[in-house]
Amino acid sequence: MTPEDARARLNALRQELLDHSDASSEDRKPVELDQQSVGRLSRQDSMQVQAMAKAADARRVQEMRRIEAALARIDEDEFGWCVECGEAIEPPRLEIDPAAPRCAACA
């Protein structure tokens, strides 16, 4: 995989994560505690949905950091090299995950 191909895939992944984050923003809003309009079980369901949405958002943020780090490695001409040992990352590994920072041995 060339750095240009990796950049295109990483940018597409980043945009997909941003789209998912925008789509789930409603689920992350605070749950209203008005028992007159929402029953106890419905409120608990809403709180569970909110907690799951926040956890998914935290995973998206972590993945965004990995993508940004990979894009930085491309800019610095260090893409495809392990950040631990400095050896080349196996091409099949980069095909599966272009944001992979380590070779299989160091991972």
> Binning pLDDT at 50, 70 and 90, where does residue 95 land?
very high
Q: Long-range contact list for 89-97, CB < 8 A, 24+ apart?
A: 91/1, 94/1, 94/6, 95/1
Structure tokens at 44: 């608990």
Domain boundaries, the chain: 3-77
Residue 1: what pLDDT? 82
Residue 54: what pLDDT? 86
Helix (H) or strand (E) run with residue 7 in it: helix 3-23
Region of poorest pLDDT, from 29-33, 38-42, 70-74: 29-33
**Residue 31 above 80 pLDDT?**
no
> Binning pLDDT at 50, 70 and 90, where does residue 40 land?
low
DSSP state of 12: H
Residue 53: what pLDDT? 85
Determine the Cα–Cα distance for residues 8 and 74; give it in Å rounded to an integer: 11
Residue 47: what pLDDT? 81
Hey, which bits of 1-107 come out as E strands?
none
The answer to whether 50 and 29 are in contact (CB under 8 A) is yes
